Structure 1
Amino acid sequence: MSSSIPFASIRLITDRIDNLVGFYAEVTGVVPAWATPEFAELRWPGVTLAIASASTVARLGDHLDPTTGNRASIVEFRVEDVDAEVARIQRALPGATWVLPPTTMPWGNRSALLRDPDGTLVNLFSPPAGGRRTPPTAG
């Protein structure tokens, strides 16, 4: 018998927990739940973004090396209106580093990318109206 394991959360590890939690709280509008000064969660139905201080990693074993500035992952948030969210975030976080202005991608999503305080890419996207995507052309 096969069953799937439910997805629960993504945890970001940082040396600047207050900055990172504040950034994601501002971007998402979600109030963080602080378990300790070293660990906070932003919760949505069915998924959690956990943010922990690098000092928490030592509790998992000496063999782990906490890193920040992940360049291999993108944290993504689905929004109704990418352009409106970008304008709101630019007002709220004027020093934010934007990587991609609002752009319609070849697969139909409207996206804008910025970096969080640790350098991780954050994608704000909205799918095409009706969820339809244009299939690629044969070439």
Structure 2
Amino acid sequence: MKFASVRLPARDVAQLVPFYESLTGIPAAWANDQFAEIVLPGATIAISSRGLTDAFAASSIEPAANRTVMLELLVDDVDAERDRVAELAGGLVMEPTTLPWGNRSLLLADPDGNVVNLFTPVTPEARAKFGAR
């Protein structure tokens, strides 16, 4: 088994895709006006409309209702990203904080309220885990 992607059902695909393009710096690959992918090294963020999913599995998803899953993106310097991403999100959920397991993280919410963790490993153990220098 190989992890392929995380799909985010969106209230408004045309609003959510530009947020993730700006956050990651990677342009989306659009399949149609209801589905796009941001292909990152290691995984893909897929964004689709509820209508697309409902066509095959009615009422199986609910956009903007996530309170369980957090997207985590490894960045070179989370503190350097802080001001840029705060503007994208309209504010942060959590300011940059060094966590007990050795990552320095900040949390922000996308336009649908999905929480995104940008983090940088800062302890020797965390840097080794992620192959960072």
* TMscore range, shorter length: 0.7 to 0.9
Q: In 2, distance between residues paired with 1:23 and 1:14?
A: 12
SS in structure 1 at match of 2:55: helix
Q: In 2, distance between residues paired with 1:74 and 1:62?
A: 24
Superposed counterparts of 1:18-97, under 5 Å:
18-62=14-58, 64-91=60-87, 93=88, 96-97=90-91
Q: In 2, distance between residues paired with 1:11 and 1:65?
A: 11
TM-score in terms of structure 2 length = 0.86
Q: 2:118 maps to which residue?
A: 124
Match for 2:97 among 88, 92, 103? 103
Residues 37-79 of structure 1: CA deviation (Å, up to 9, x unaligned): 0000000234111000111111222352433231101011100
Give the aligned CA root-mean-square deviation in angstroms.
1.7
User: Counterpart amino acid of 1:123?
Assistant: N
Farther off after superposition, 105-114 or 59-68: 59-68
CA contact (8 A) 1:57 1:66 kept: no
> Which structure has the larger Rg?
1
Structure 1: state its 5+ residue gaps.
134-139
Poorly superposed stretches of 4+, deviation over 6 Å: none
TM-score in terms of structure 1 length = 0.83
Distance 1:35 1:86, change over 3 A: same
Q: In 2, distance between residues paired with 1:46 and 1:80?
A: 16
CA contact (8 A) 1:31 1:42 kept: yes
In the alignment of these two chains, the number of paired residues is: 127
